[in-house]
A and B are shown apart, each in its own frame.
Chain A
Amino acid sequence: MISSSLVIAVSFLYLLVLFAVAWFGDKRAAEGRSIIASPWVYALSMAVYCTAWTYFGSVGRAANTGLWFLPIYLGPMLAMILAWIVLRKMIRIAKTYRITSIADFIASRYGKSRSLASLVTLITIVGILPYIALQLKAISSGYAMLTTPLGEPRQEIGLWLGDSTLYIALALAGFTIIFGTRHLDSTERHEGMVAAIAFESIVKLVAFLAVGLFVVYGVFNGMGDLFAQALANDQLKPLLMLGQGTQEFAYPQWFALIILAMLSVIFLPRQFQVMVVENVDERHLKRASWVFPLYLLLINIFVLPIALGGLLFFGQGAADPDYFVLSLPLAHGYEWLALFVFVGGLSAATGMVIVEAIAVSTMVCNDLVMPFLLRTERFGSRASGDLTGLLLMIRRVAILGILLLGYLYFRVAGEAYALVSIGLISFAAVAQFAPAMLGGMYWKVGNRQGALAGLLLGFALWIYTLLLPSLVKSGWLDAGLVTDGLLGLAWLKPEQLFGLQGLDNLTHALFWSLFANISAYVLVSLWTRPEAREASQALLFVDVFERTASTHPVFWQGRAKLSDLRNLTERFLGVDKAERLFTEYARRLGLAQTKDIPANAQLVQYVETQLAGAIGTGSARMMVASVVEEEQLDLDDVMRILEEASQLRAYSKALEEKSLSLEKATSELRAANEQLKSLDKLKDDFMSSVTHELRTPLTSIRAFTEMMLDDDEMDLEQRRQFLEIVVGEAERLGRLVNQVLDMAKIEAGHAEWHNSDVDIQSVVKQAINSISGMYLENGLSLNLHGEHEEIAPIRADPDRLMQVMLNLLSNAAKFVPHPGGIVDVYITDTTEGVTVGVQDNGKGIASNEQEQVFEKFRQAGEFSDRPQGTGLGLPISRQIVEHFGGRMWLESELGAGARFSFFLPRLKDAQQLERTEEESA
Chain B
Amino acid sequence: MLRGMTSARLVALFLLGGALLNFPLLALWDKDLTIFGVPLFPAALFIIWAGLIASLAWLMEYDEH
Contact = CB atoms under 8 A, between A and B. Distances in A.
Pairing of A with B:
yes
Interface of A: 67, 70, 74, 77-78, 80-82, 84-85, 222-225, 227-228, 231, 240-243, 249, 251, 254-255, 258, 286-287, 289-290, 293-294, 297, 301, 304
B61 A287 contact: yes
Given A74-B21, A78-B14, A84-B10, 13 more contacts: A67-B42, A70-B45, A77-B49, A78-B18, A82-B10, A223-B36, A223-B38, A251-B22, A254-B26, A258-B22, A290-B53, A290-B61, A293-B56
B16 to A, nearest CB: 9
7 contacts: A81-B10, A227-B37, A240-B39, A240-B42, A251-B23, A255-B22, A290-B57
B10 A85 contact: yes
A756 to B, nearest CB: 54
A243 B30 CA distance: 8
Contacts of B10: 81-82, 84-85
A246 B45 CA distance: 22
Most buried by A among B11, B30, B36, B52: B52
A290 B27 contact: no
B41 A82 contact: no
Contacts of B30: 241-243, 249
Given A78-B17, A84-B60, A287-B61, A255 B23 contact: yes
A598 to B, nearest CB: 37
Contacts of B6: 84
Contacts of A222: 37
- Chain A interface, >50% SS class: helix
Contacts of B41: 67, 240-242
B11 A289 contact: no
A85 B17 CA distance: 16
A254 B60 contact: no
Interface of B: 6-7, 10-11, 13-14, 17-18, 21-23, 26-27, 29-30, 34, 36-39, 41-42, 45-46, 49-50, 52-53, 56-57, 60-61
Contacts of B38: 223-224, 227
A227 B52 contact: no
Contacts of B11: 82, 85
Contacts of B45: 67, 70, 74
A460 B23 CA distance: 31
Task: Say what secondary structure dominates the interface of chain B.
Answer: helix
Nearest to A296: B49
Most buried by A among B7, B21, B22: B21
A254 B22 contact: yes
A293 B46 contact: no
Given A74-B21, A77-B17, A78-B21, A227 B57 contact: no
Contacts of A290: 53, 56-57, 60-61
B39 A289 contact: no
A301 B42 CA distance: 10
B59 to A, nearest CB: 8
B52 A81 contact: yes
B5 to A, nearest CB: 12
Contacts of A240: 39, 41-42
A443 B4 CA distance: 19
Nearest to B56: A290
Contacts of B34: 227, 231
Nearest to B27: A242
Contacts of A294: 53, 57
Contacts of B50: 297
A255 B18 CA distance: 9
A70 B42 CA distance: 10
A438 B14 CA distance: 17
A243 B32 CA distance: 12
Contacts of B18: 78, 258
Given A81-B56, A224-B37, A251-B23, A286 B14 contact: no
Contacts of B56: 80-81, 289-290, 293
Nearest to B32: A241
Contacts of B7: 84-85
A82 B61 CA distance: 15
A82 B14 contact: yes
A655 to B, nearest CB: 23
Contact of A227 (B13, B17, B27, B39): B39
Contacts of B27: 242, 249
A77 B39 contact: no
B36 A242 contact: no
Contact of A297 (B17, B46, B60): B46
A249 B36 CA distance: 26
A224 B17 contact: no
A224 B36 CA distance: 7
Nearest to B60: A286
B54 to A, nearest CB: 8
A306 to B, nearest CB: 13
Contacts of A225: 37
Contacts of A287: 60-61
Contact of B52 (A77, A85, A223, A255): A77
Contacts of B26: 242, 249, 251, 254
A844 to B, nearest CB: 49
Of B6, B49, B60, which is in contact with the most chain A CB atoms at under 10 Å from its CB? B60
B61 A286 contact: yes
A269 to B, nearest CB: 24
A355 to B, nearest CB: 24
A297 B53 contact: yes
A537 to B, nearest CB: 24
A153 B39 CA distance: 35
A287 B23 CA distance: 30
A243 B41 CA distance: 11
Nearest to A224: B37
A224 B43 CA distance: 12
Contact of A289 (B29, B36, B49, B60): B60
